[in-house]
């Protein structure tokens, strides 16, 4: 961080600012001019709030040169993080597909889909039990019963399970869940993120509908600062002026995040597009861009799905897509694309 202040160290207010910074274990290198002094800060400046620095009357300008996130930052952790859940590794060259319905609807539905997606090559099983719906009158999920069916299906197929949490007060119901998902609408639910930082299960953190990548990384930082390093980031499309898709898939988020952070990055082409016909091209684009995995909604009868049927692949479509994903992954890794970070 660089701070431009009015006057020199002879000004007691400048010295007061320097003392305030040094009390936070940050050293200050001052370069004095005739009218101004430039303070170069060395140390962990993530603990400094720019707005607080600006409240000192001698401060003219403040610039952060280091990102405000530390634990998620690739500069301090060069190696890719590999997240392990129920014996399945994701990240650092371990590409995984998470598949399953938007919502858990019944035991038969969940077990049937689990068998199909596993046979097609998915290693992780998803299914929503707590559903964040825009309308309070829409299906809200089977909650505890849904987690039970998902757990049974996962155990039957030996697939680790991923499901969304909406409130920290439900955490005890997630005992058998392998990866806890934080949905787009809760990306900045800081109380929830803090609670997830206090436990050790991996967290799949989805990008908010209107959040920058820096905000996504700051949310990851909340979880990591609490002591849980097992965070997987998920790009799932953002709100733009475009209306022909449900959201706009920000494909550049993949290489940008891979440069900024060591955390694994997965892409959800289902929520990004809102249309089953668009899931395949977006999934393949994500693979080509270097994603560490995909999260894809699959339903045995998309027309009858209680949630997100229009964007769900049927089991046959999913199996066909998996073949293309496998072929494209082989090509991408043969190019060594993962090493060539921007």
The binder of ligand PEP chosen from 14, 28, 83, 102 (CB under 6 A): 102
Residues 8 and 153: their CA atoms lie apart, in Å, by 68
Tokens describing residue 120: 């097609």
Instruction: Kindly state the smallest distance separating residue 207's Cβ from Mn ion, in Å.
Output: 15
Find all residues with CB under 8 Å of 245, minimum gap 6, and list them. 237, 272, 273, 274, 275, 278
Of all residues in the shown chain, the one whose CB is closest to Mn ion is 102
- Long-range contact pairs involving 73-77 (C-beta distance under 8 Å, separation at least 24): 73/217, 73/260, 73/261, 74/259, 74/260, 74/261, 74/262, 77/262
| Residue 179 binding ligand PEP, by CB under 6 A | no
Binding part of the chain for Mn ion, among 43-51, 98-106, 109-117, 178-186 by CB under 5 A, reads 98-106
Instruction: Kindly state the smallest distance separating residue 333's Cβ from ligand PEP, in Å.
Output: 27
Secondary structure class of 180 (helix, strand, coil): strand
The binder of Mn ion chosen from 308, 312, 317, 321 (CB under 5 A): 308
The binder of Mn ion chosen from 39, 102, 218, 284 (CB under 5 A): 102
What DSSP state is assigned to residue 244? S
Tokens 């997965």 belong to residue: 266
| Residue 127 binding ligand PEP, by CB under 6 A | no
Which CB sits closer to ligand PEP, 183 or 264? 183
Chain centre distance of CA 246: 19
Residues 221 and 322: their CA atoms lie apart, in Å, by 33
- Which of the listed partners (ligand PEP, Mn ion, none) does 236 bind, with a CB threshold of 5 to 8 Å by partner kind? ligand PEP
Instruction: Kindly state the smallest distance separating residue 182's Cβ from Mn ion, in Å.
Output: 14
The binder of ligand PEP chosen from 91, 100, 101, 128 (CB under 6 A): 128
Residues 189 and 182: their CA atoms lie apart, in Å, by 9
Binding part of the chain for Mn ion, among 41-49, 94-102, 176-184, 238-246 by CB under 5 A, reads 94-102
Report which secondary-structure segment, H or E, holds 233: strand 231-235
- Which of the listed partners (ligand PEP, Mn ion, none) does 146 bind, with a CB threshold of 5 to 8 Å by partner kind? none
| Residue 132 binding ligand PEP, by CB under 6 A | yes
Residues 331 and 342: their CA atoms lie apart, in Å, by 19
- Any idea of the CA torsion for 93, 94, 97, 102, to the nearest 10 degrees? -100
Size, binding site for Mn ion by CB under 5 A: 2
The binder of ligand PEP chosen from 71, 123, 206, 262 (CB under 6 A): 206
Give the binding site for ligand PEP (CB under 6 A).
Answer: 102, 128, 132, 164, 183-185, 206, 236, 268, 271
């Amino acid at each position: 961080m660089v701070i431009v202040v009015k006057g020199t160290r002879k000004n007691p207010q400048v010295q007061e600012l320097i003392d305030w910074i040094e009390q936070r274990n940050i050293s200050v290198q001052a370069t004095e001019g005739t009218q101004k002094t430039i303070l170069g800060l060395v140390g962990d400046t993530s603990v400094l709030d720019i707005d607080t620095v600006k409240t000192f009357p001698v401060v003219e300008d403040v610039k952060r040169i280091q990102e405000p996130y530390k634990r998620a930052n690739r500069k301090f952790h060069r190696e890719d993080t590999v997240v392990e859940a129920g014996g399945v590794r994701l990240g650092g060259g371990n590409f995984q597909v998470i598949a399953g319905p938007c919502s858990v609807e019944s035991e038969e539905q969940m077990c049937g889909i689990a068998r199909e997606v596993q046979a097609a090559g998915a290693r992780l099983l998803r299914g929503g039990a707590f559903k964040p719906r825009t309308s309070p009158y829409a299906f809200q999920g089977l909650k505890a019963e849904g987690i039970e069916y998902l757990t049974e299906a996962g155990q039957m197929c030996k697939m680790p399970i991923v499901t969304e949490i909406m409130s920290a007060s439900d955490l005890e119901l997630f005992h058998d869940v392998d990866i806890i998902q934080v949905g787009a609408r809760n990306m900045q639910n800081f109380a929830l993120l803090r609670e997830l930082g206090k436990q050790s299960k991996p967290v799949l953190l989805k990008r908010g509908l209107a959040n920058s990548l820096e905000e996504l990384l700051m949310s990851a930082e909340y979880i990591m600062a609490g002591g849980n390093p097992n965070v997987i980031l998920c790009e799932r499309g953002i709100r733009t002026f475009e209306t022909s898709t449900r959201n706009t898939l920000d494909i550049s988020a993949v290489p940008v995040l891979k440069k900024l952070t060591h955390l694994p990055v997965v892409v959800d082409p289902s929520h990004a597009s809102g249309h089953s016909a668009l899931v395949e091209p977006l999934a393949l684009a994500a693979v080509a861009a270097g994603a560490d995995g995909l999260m894809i909604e699959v339903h045995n009868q998309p027309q009858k799905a209680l949630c997100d049927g229009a964007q769900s692949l049927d089991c046959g479509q999913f199996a066909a897509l998996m073949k293309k994903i496998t072929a494209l992954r082989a090509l991408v890794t043969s190019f060594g694309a993962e090493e060539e970070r921007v």
